[in-house]
Structures are given as structure tokens and as C-alpha cells.
Structure 1
Amino acid sequence: MQILITGGTGLIGSALVRLWQAEHKLLILSRTGRKSANSNIHYINALSEVDFNTIDVVVNLAGEPIAKRRWSEKQKNLICQSRWQLTEALSKLISQASTPPKLLISGSATGYYGRQGNTEITEEYDAFFPEFTHDICAKWENLAMQASSDKTRVALLRTGIVLAEDGGALAKMLPPFKLALGGVMGDGTQYMSWIHLDDMVNLINFIMQHDDISGPVNAVAPRPVTNKVFTAELAKRIKRPAVLPMPAFMASLLFGEMADILLYGQRVVPQKLLKAGFTFRYPQLSQALAALTL
């Protein structure tokens, strides 16, 4: 198949390229003008270089990292527009094609649900807390769904915290933990919905192969944990104590509005994937952390 990947040089995108490079022809949208010695990989600088009549699948993962820096109004606008503008352009080009891609897999996040306390959240859950993370994801998803037709299936990845050896959330968490400065955030009862990188790319591949999966897909492991449990498991894995909690007010002082991501979570479960028969390699947090070189 011929697959277009946006965000193909990011954490998830790079792992997808490694998974697919031997089997599929990959077009990767990149701003850096890269080249590849692999004849199956071709980097492009703009969507105008793509003939969407020849593309089988589009995987849309591009966007400014949400936790890259403090959320000033300028940064919040960059986070939004980097997702919305590209997704809108993709949907328009897909819709205009006479033989469009059969599938668009487009990024989103568990932030769509907003803060939800201890309520277990499946894809059928239709309530949300109105805050910035929801606003980003809701419009992002709506723009992606504009590509949906009888010719094009659309799946929306509501992704949790992706656990990987290089990059992602752990890259930010590990330094203080390794210095024995890690600890519980707030009261520690907020849930963290996470997934190992291997399961993340495997479920994307699974969606590509199963025509019955469409709409929102909770891209998380089946067993979310509280921040208190996550902290204890990570400390145990790297053999460091985690005894210095960060009170909610301190998190708010350090991170501003972005602290809401850390202090209020969601207990999200992947009901749609489990019903479709997807098997997680790392369903337990301890398994996922043990599989990583930290």
C-alpha cells in the first residue's frame, strides 16, 4: 500500500515508519527536507506534492507538542493551528479526490474528555468537561470527520500518555525521578491513561486492517492507574525513592494552565479495540515499564 504520514518524524510516526518501511510505500510530510536511502520512504515538503488518488491510507499525527512549553496565548494558538490547519487541508484534498484514500487515521487525545474524576470512560461516553484540551481535540476531530464518506473511513485516535524509551512523557518525567526528586502530583488520585509505544503502533496497524473500526478509538492500555500508582511503579522500576510530592498549587505556579493535565485525569479504557479483538502486548503498567530501557 501507499501510505501518507504527517508527523512521521515524531515519536509515534517514527515508530510507524520502522514498522511499515519494508512492506509499504511511505510518503512522509516533513519540513526538514530529509532524504532516505530506503526506496520505500519518500519525504515531501508540502501536500501539493501528493496525488491523493494514489494514496491508500493517510495517518495524520502532526502537531505542536502540547507540553513543549508553558501555555501562553501564543503557544495555545500554535498548538491549535498546527493541528487544525493541516487536518482541514487533508480532509479537503481527500474529499476532492476521485479515488480517495480508503482510510484516514487522525490524531486526537484523551484530553477530548476533559477532567472526569474516577468515571470509567469508553468511546460511547458523550459528556465532557469544557476546557482547552477538549476544545483542541473536538475541532481537530470534526475537521478530520469532514473526510468521511462511503469511500473513506475515518478513525480518530484518542491517545493517552505514550511510554517510550526516547522522547514522549517519560523523557520529561525521568530526570527528577532519577535524582530522587520525583513524587505524587496533587493528591495522586487522578487517573493516568497510558500506552506503550509498541502497542500504539500495533493498534494503528490493527485499525488499518479492520474495516469495521471507525470514529473515536481510545488509544490507551486497558488498565489505567492513579498518579500515585504510576509514581510508585516508575520509582520502583528505576530503583529510586519517590517521596517528594508536588502540591497542586506548586504545579500551577510552575506550569500555569498546563498543570491541569497533571492534576486532573481521565480513567479511559479502549473498549472499541478490545471488542474488535486487539491484544495488548503490555496491558499492565509494570510490564510496560519493565520492557523499556530507562
Structure 2
Amino acid sequence: MKIVIAGGSGFVGQKLSEYLLDKGHEIVILTRTIHKTSGNVTYVKWLSEDSAPENEIRSADAFINLAGVSINNGRWDENHQKQIYESRMKATDELIRIISQLEKKPSVLINASAIGVYPASLNAVYTEKSSEVADDFLGRTVHDWEKKAMHVEASGIRAVFMRFGVVLGRKGGALPLMTLPYKLFAGGTVGSGKQWVSWVHVQDVVRTILFAIENQQLRGPVNVTAPVPVKMKEFGKTIGSVLHRPHWLPVPSFAMRVVLGKKSGLVLEGQHVVSEVLQREGFVFSYPALDSALEDLLIN
């Protein structure tokens, strides 16, 4: 297949590109900077006044939208929140415009999303059928992002919203920061420890994306979380066990708010999210349990 990726240079995008190339697919990466074409990877400039990516792409089997300013950087001040929101809206608008101009249109748009669309809760269990939307910055951003991407269906193109949980990887995502205190022998429970962590190994993330492309019955929201979410206290204890480090020094909520600002909600609050769609369609996670995922990422 010929697959176009927006946001191919990011944490998930790099892993996804490697995975798709290994499976023999042709990749087109939309980028703001010039790169030389190499093997089955073509780089096409976009989001600039002098770019017309549709003229270079011409046709595609699938589009994947991972583009947008990272939510993991910065303190989520007003300016940073504006960048996070507007970068996603602008990129999605441009993707829809590009698709409308193609000679051969893709059959599917895979749009990144997040479980942050669901309200934080200690007791609720969310599935793809859950209609609740969090009344905060991340909830509104995800809701609006999905709503904009849905416009592609007016052209008869299937839209899938991959609601990623906490993505765990060696060099990106949340895990390096979460493990650092343990490596310094200062790890412990963050906040109350009762908040849910609906996590997923990055390798399973990229596998679910190709799964969604290949399975034409999938459309709409798809929760991308491992089968067994855990509470934050258990998450920390598992890191300590895998690294053979103590889990002893609590990190109070107020300290996280001082360090992270508004972004502290990512670690102090959480959602218990279940991926009913992937389970129903027979997707098998390579890393269904936290201990095996952490052993792969931190030890192997």
C-alpha cells in the first residue's frame, strides 16, 4: 500500500514508519523541511505557501494524521495550549484539502486522538460507546479534532479515531520521565496513587494503526489501550520491581502542580479505558500486561 503520514517525525510516527516499511509498504511523509527520498520513503513538503503536496502524492491508499505540537512538552500555559490546539486543526484542515484534490483518493483516514477525551474518574469505565467528554483543555481539543477529521467522510472516506492511552516507549512518551526518579533511587507514588493509568506499548500502537487500515469495518473511535489498566501506585511499584529500585518516596500532588503547571493533570488524573472495539475484532496485544511491557522497554 501507499500510505501518507503527517507527523511522521514524532515519537509514534518514527516507530510507525519503521513498522510499515518492514511490512513492505510505500511511505510518503509530509514534512516542513526538505529530505532526500530514500528507498520506499518519499518526503513531501507541506504547510508552506509554496507547497502543493497533492501534485506530488497524486494517489494514496491511506492517510495517517499524527501531526500537531506535542502535549508532552511545556507547561500548558495559554500560548502553549493555543499551539497544541491550532496545530491540530490546521494540519487536519490541510489533510482534508489535499485528499479532496487527489486523483485517486484513500479509502481511510486514520486520525490520532487520545483517551483524554473522557473525563477523569476513579470509578467510571469508558469504552468507545461512552459519550462523556471531559470539560477541560484536552477533552475539548480531542473532541474538536475528531469532529474536524470526520468531515472526510463526506467524500466517502472511512475515518478512524485512534484514542491513544499513555504510550510507553524507550526514548519518547511519558516513560522516560516516569522512570527517572527510580533510576535515582527516589521513586514513589505520584499524587494519591489511586488515579488510573490506561497505558499501551508503542509497538502495539503502531500495530493497531495498520490493523485499522486493513480492517474496513473499523470506523469512528477506537480506544488504543492495553487490556489491563492499573492504578498509578501499582504502575510505580511495577517500575521499581522491573528496575530493582525502591518504591518509597511519595510525590505529593501540589509538587507536581508546581513543576508541571496545568499539564499536571496528565499524571494526577486518569481514566479507566477499555478497548472493546479491538477486542471484538480479534486484535491480539503483544504486551497485554504491564510487567512484560516494562521489561521489554527497560531491560531488553
- Which bracket does the TM-score occupy, shorter chain normalised? over 0.9
Any idea what SS the aligned residue of 2:174 has? helix
**Which residue pairs with 2:200 in the alignment?**
195
Q: Does 1:238 align with 2:243?
A: yes
The match for 1:50 among 44, 49, 54 is 54
Q: Does 1:72 align with 2:77?
A: yes
**Which residue pairs with 2:177 in the alignment?**
172
Inter-CA distance 187–293: structure 2 relative to 1 (3 Å threshold): closer
Gaps of 5+ in 1: none
Could you tell me how far 1:97 is from its partner in structure 2? 4.2
Contact 1:116 1:128 in 2 (8 A): no
Q: Does 1:292 align with 2:297?
A: yes
The match for 2:153 among 121, 137, 148 is 148
Amino acid corresponding to residue 16 of structure 1 in structure 2: L
Could you tell me how far 1:17 is from its partner in structure 2? 1.1
The match for 2:222 among 217, 223, 239 is 217
How do residues 67-106 of structure 1 correspond to structure 2 at under 5 angstroms?
67-97=72-102, 99-106=104-111
Amino acid corresponding to residue 216 of structure 1 in structure 2: P
Provide the rounded CA distance (Å) in 1 between the counterparts of 2:121 and 2:106. 35
**Which residue pairs with 2:27 in the alignment?**
26
**Which residue pairs with 2:163 in the alignment?**
158
Q: Does 1:16 align with 2:9?
A: no
Any idea what SS the aligned residue of 2:153 has? coil
**Which residue pairs with 1:253 in the alignment?**
258
Provide the rounded CA distance (Å) in 2 between the counterparts of 1:149 and 1:272. 23
Contact 1:53 1:101 in 2 (8 A): no
Q: Deviations over 1:121-141 (max 9, x none)?
A: 100001123001101101110
Percent of pairs with identical residues: 36
Could you tell me how far 1:177 is from its partner in structure 2? 1.7
Greater mean alpha carbon deviation, residues 98-107 or residues 282-291? 98-107
Provide the rounded CA distance (Å) in 2 between the counterparts of 1:283 and 1:150. 36
Contact 1:114 1:133 in 2 (8 A): no
Provide the rounded CA distance (Å) in 2 between the counterparts of 1:267 and 1:104. 26
Q: Deviations over 1:193-246 (max 9, x none)?
A: 110111111111111110000000001111110000100001111111121111
Cα RMSD after superposing both structures = 1.5
Amino acid corresponding to residue 53 of structure 2 in structure 1: E
How do residues 128-143 of structure 1 correspond to structure 2 at under 5 angstroms?
128-143=133-148
Could you tell me how far 1:172 is from its partner in structure 2? 1.8
Gaps of 5+ in 2: none
Any idea what SS the aligned residue of 1:3 has? strand
Any idea what SS the aligned residue of 2:297 has? coil
Q: Deviations over 1:95-133 (max 9, x none)?
A: 454642100000110111131222111000011230011
Could you tell me how far 1:34 is from its partner in structure 2? 2.4
If the length of structure 1 is used for normalisation, what is the TM-score?
Answer: 0.95
Greater mean alpha carbon deviation, residues 92-101 or residues 127-136? 92-101
Aligned residues between the structures = 293
Contact 2:119 2:132 in 1 (8 A): no
Any idea what SS the aligned residue of 2:64 has? strand
Any idea what SS the aligned residue of 1:280 has? coil
Provide the rounded CA distance (Å) in 2 between the counterparts of 1:35 and 1:53. 19
The match for 2:118 among 107, 113, 117 is 113
If the length of structure 2 is used for normalisation, what is the TM-score?
Answer: 0.93
